[in-house]
Structure 1
Amino acid sequence: MNPVQKSSRAMRPSARRQDVFLAVGLAVLASVVAVSFGSGRRPDAFGWALLLALHVPLAWRRRAPLVVLWVMVPLIATFHEHDYNHSAPTGASMVLLYTVAVTGSVRRTVIVGCSVIGLMVALKFGDGMAGVAESFQIAGWVVSMLVLGGYLRVHRQLTATALERAERAERTREEEARRRVAEERLRIARDLHDLLAHSITLIGVQTSVAAHVLTEDPDRLDRAAVAKALDDIADTCRSARGELRTTLEVLRDHGPADTRDPLPGLDALPDLAATARAAGAKVDLSVGTGASVPAAVGAAAYRIVQEALTNAVRHGGRADLTVRVGVHERDGALLVDVTDDGAGTGDGTPGFGLVGMRERVRSVGGTLDAGPRDELGERAGFAVSAVLPLRAHGEEGAR
């Protein structure tokens, strides 16, 4: 229901009251005209009954205009046929014609106008030239009322249409704003998951290394190994804290998006490999790209490698875990391949890592294939392969 319909329903009792007052006022005016001036004779008892009766249906003119028309026309015609004061019912006649035009279609308005003018000409036909002249005069008033009513009807329709369009545009803007908020929340959730899962996994592995060194042979404590493990933990915490601060910048209103620090890209892949090596994995990193990799694609590749390394370290299940990371540009796309030879013995519950990777790949229009590697019928690690197109995404998608 549009605003015009709501307002009309809300004002219906008031409108009915206004129509009643209008009918009473027109009846009083018609009575004054009937005894004061105009052509024709003063009404007698029958004339007064006709004059007052033809105003009663006006109280329902908005609810059933055609019914009111068919009730009033015979009463008005009978009033004129008895040669009562012809000016007395003019006000009621004009309001009736206006109501028919303002509430109906153009076709109905034309039909009613032609019928009324035809009936008037038939009634005045016997009056000679005087009747013809009076017919033209009255026809002018009839046409004027119909045109006025039709104009106001079109104006109201255009206003209602404009309001409906404005309301639809406002709904569209609100839906777009909600969609953008949802997308931003999803992006933040992905960033936090990638960052925290990676950092916490590395911290857990490094802590296990320190604990192992402390408990393996307390009498011959390798202080250098313990210190190195603790330094690795501190470095991971500092790196996580800095990247977390960068990620959370989107929640603060410090300025436009382009003033924020960019998320890590391909140039940060060696740091990922270094942290994975510190956790005990052997990482073979190979990067071969040009200088035309969009920031959005670079960020997606970084997060894919980060999540794949995190999963390999967490679920590898072997001390001599080897991970091969390849990032190369080929045929207008960035190919990201991460494979490991782990046993896949992780006992953690399934998380959102693969889901986040697929969402990131879709955000830049790419494809992802991830699953266990099968060699000679036996499981031999895990493989992640992504194809990220370079030409369809510009720099503006980085955030």
Structure 2
Amino acid sequence: MDLAALFTRDPQAAPSPLRHDATAAAAFAVVATVIALTVDDGRRPDALGWALLLAVHVPLAWRRKAPLPVLIAVAACVAPYHGLDYMHLAPLPATMTALYTVAATSRPKRTVIVGLAVTSLTLSMQLFVNPHEMVEVLRISGWVTAVLVFGASIRLYRQLVATVVEKAEREAERKVTEERLRIARDLHDLLAHSITLIGVQTSVAAHVLVADPDRLDREALVRALDGISETCREARAEVRTTLDVLRAAPEGPLPDLASLPDLVRSSGADLTVRTGEAKVPAAVGAAAYRIVQESLTNAVRHGGPDAEVRVDVSLVEEVLTVRVTNGGAASGGTGGSGGSGGSAGSGYGIIGMRERARSVGGTLRAGPRVGGGFEVTAALPLAVREVAA
């Protein structure tokens, strides 16, 4: 058995405590018998002495289930044994084991009380048997104090280990929760954007088919269907990329600012990027990409395919600013995806964008514009800071 695990584990929670303690009690009884037969330290036990010596070890089988009653039972047997001046060293292992168990499982106040009681009883018996052996009195007191301190130290060590383990478990649970939220945001951003575009393109195709069947615009229909096919391919590729990232595959990078032109072009919006040659951290670039993606999804959903949408990305004093304006949506239209005042949507869009901005230490504002439309503005610092969930 690992020695560290032996001291760390709660003795009252160990498997099969009765069996292990009964085996240990039998081993202590054998050791006590050998000591009583071989060591000359007091009167050799007679029948009564052997009965008391063996009786001292019986309660040890229950020492972890009832430490204090076991110590009382051991003291009740060992007191007359020492009082009759039998071989004093023989019951010492059993007595100290019972004392250690109480110190290792009890609160400090009880440990101190038990220590004083045991010391008083031991000294009283020693003064009654050998009143002139003051050195022996000090030796016995030292043994009792040492065992109590050792047991209390083990108890504090176990508490410390339990606290560290509990803290580690809470931290692991927190990281799992944050990862679950991140995956949920990725899936929401990806699927909501792709499905919205497919819905708009399908509406265009349906309109072309039913608007004037006699003068069917085959080219417009082909463009709409090709757009649906392209969106499906992009969604499939991004799902594969997301899964690669979740599997920690090195070939699965997160989307970043370099992917913005393709994203914005598929939505028919205007894009302006002013970041110069500054290097944007991957996490910040991914957050900006997802915020733009969700904003475009909301703009297309609520403003229609003809909405006038502008995307402006700029870098000012080590802060990446992302601004998406929709001049064609009704006031508060995009709020349906996350605002309280929206009339449609899942209710997670703007919430997800805010969480994504917070994940890199940034902020996000979303709301109606003066004069109509809707605007989403995010400020993402390049120095990524860890933010608690």
Shift of 1:300: 0.8
Structure 2 counterparts to residues 191-210 of structure 1, below 5 A: 191-210=186-205
Structure 2 residue aligned with 1:280: none
Q: Identity percentage over the alignment?
A: 43
What SS does structure 2 have at the residue aligned with 1:303?
Answer: helix
> How many residue pairs get matched?
353
Structure 1 residue aligned with 2:258: 267
Give the counterpart letter for 2:225 in structure 1: L
Please tell me whether the aligned partners of residues 339 and 382 of structure 1 are also in contact (alpha carbons under 8 angstroms). yes
* Bigger-Rg structure (1/2): 1
Moved more, 62-71 or 332-341: 62-71
Structure 2 residue aligned with 1:284: 270
Give the counterpart letter for 2:318 in structure 1: G
Q: Distance in 1 between matches of 2:42 and 2:320?
A: 95
Please tell me whether the aligned partners of residues 109 and 146 of structure 1 are also in contact (alpha carbons under 8 angstroms). no
Structure 2 residue aligned with 1:365: 361
What SS does structure 2 have at the residue aligned with 1:234?
Answer: helix
Change (3 A) 1:39 1:154: closer
Change (3 A) 1:167 1:220: same
What SS does structure 2 have at the residue aligned with 1:385?
Answer: strand
Please tell me whether the aligned partners of residues 100 and 149 of structure 1 are also in contact (alpha carbons under 8 angstroms). no
Change (3 A) 1:149 1:211: same
Change (3 A) 1:363 1:64: same
Structure 2 residue aligned with 1:335: 321
Q: Distance in 1 between matches of 2:94 and 2:236?
A: 79
Structure 2 residue aligned with 1:321: 307
**C-alpha offsets along residues 323-379 of structure 1, whole Å, 9 cap, x if unaligned?**
12211112321111111132349874434211211110110111111122343xxxx
Q: Distance in 1 between matches of 2:152 and 2:163?
A: 16
Shift of 1:179: 3.1
Structure 2 residue aligned with 1:392: 384
Structure 2 residue aligned with 1:311: 298
Moved more, 239-248 or 14-23: 14-23
Q: Distance in 2 between matches of 1:218 and 1:98?
A: 100
**C-alpha offsets along residues 261-311 of structure 1, whole Å, 9 cap, x if unaligned?**
22221122221221111xxxxx23221113232111111111111111111
Please tell me whether the aligned partners of residues 41 and 88 of structure 2 are also in contact (alpha carbons under 8 angstroms). no
Give the counterpart letter for 2:228 in structure 1: I
What SS does structure 1 have at the residue aligned with 2:329?
Answer: coil
Please tell me whether the aligned partners of residues 202 and 236 of structure 1 are also in contact (alpha carbons under 8 angstroms). yes
Please tell me whether the aligned partners of residues 192 and 297 of structure 2 are also in contact (alpha carbons under 8 angstroms). yes
What SS does structure 2 have at the residue aligned with 1:387?
Answer: strand
**C-alpha offsets along residues 92-142 of structure 1, whole Å, 9 cap, x if unaligned?**
8757864685446578657755775576557666xxxxxx4xx36xx53x5
Change (3 A) 1:74 1:366: same
Please tell me whether the aligned partners of residues 42 and 88 of structure 2 are also in contact (alpha carbons under 8 angstroms). no
What SS does structure 1 have at the residue aligned with 2:202?
Answer: helix
Taking structure 1 as the reference length, the TM-score comes to 0.69
Please tell me whether the aligned partners of residues 26 and 57 of structure 2 are also in contact (alpha carbons under 8 angstroms). yes
Structure 2 counterparts to residues 133-144 of structure 1, below 5 A: 135=133, 139-140=135-136, 143-144=138-139
Give the counterpart letter for 1:225 in structure 2: A
Structure 2 residue aligned with 1:381: 373
Change (3 A) 1:116 1:270: closer
Shift of 1:207: 1.9
Please tell me whether the aligned partners of residues 2 and 160 of structure 1 are also in contact (alpha carbons under 8 angstroms). no
Q: Distance in 1 between matches of 2:212 and 2:374?
A: 34
Please tell me whether the aligned partners of residues 66 and 100 of structure 1 are also in contact (alpha carbons under 8 angstroms). no
Please tell me whether the aligned partners of residues 368 and 375 of structure 2 are also in contact (alpha carbons under 8 angstroms). yes
Q: Distance in 2 between matches of 1:180 and 1:296?
A: 17
Change (3 A) 1:175 1:250: farther
Please tell me whether the aligned partners of residues 312 and 322 of structure 2 are also in contact (alpha carbons under 8 angstroms). yes
Please tell me whether the aligned partners of residues 245 and 254 of structure 2 are also in contact (alpha carbons under 8 angstroms). no
Structure 2 residue aligned with 1:240: 235
Q: Distance in 1 between matches of 2:208 and 2:54?
A: 106
Structure 1 residue aligned with 2:225: 230
Gaps spanning 5+ residues in structure 1: where?
Answer: 80-85, 126-131, 278-282
Structure 2 residue aligned with 1:299: 286
Moved more, 104-113 or 290-299: 104-113
Change (3 A) 1:234 1:118: closer
What SS does structure 2 have at the residue aligned with 1:342?
Answer: coil
Q: Distance in 2 between matches of 1:365 and 1:21?
A: 62
